[in-house]
Amino acid sequence: MVEKYIRTAVRIDANTAPKLDAELKEILDSGNNHIVIDMEDTVYISSIGLRAFAAAQKRIRNSKGSMVIKNVKPKIMEIFEVTGFAGLFTIE
């Protein structure tokens, strides 16, 4: 299994989420369905960023792949929990 590693931006918002979404789609379209997302630098995520992760996770599950989100700051984890997204992703 080959994992594709992505490091997210400091802010995942209307300006940066489209790039993240495109990068995730490109990885999945290339046939790689094992992704590790490193959020070490990320201090903010908007609903658009959450939507990009959710869309990728849906495609990955349909292809029997995996997506792991790592190095999530407490404030971002709180957003995942409050929105119910924490249960959708594997977060380490």
- End-to-end Cα, the chain, rounded Å: 19
pLDDT number for residue 69: 97
The pLDDT > 70 percentage for the chain reads 99
**Confidence grade of residue 3 (pLDDT, cut at 50, 70, 90):** confident
Residue 53 near residue 60, CB atoms below 8 Å:
no
Residue numbers of the domain that contains 73: 4-91
pTM of the model: 0.89
Q: How many domains does the chain have?
A: 1
Torsion sign across C-alpha atoms 65, 90, 4, 21: positive
Distance in angstroms (rounded) separating the CA atoms of residues 86 and 92: 11
Q: Tell me the CATH number at 26.
A: 3.30.750.24
Q: What is the mean pLDDT of residues 16-42?
A: 93
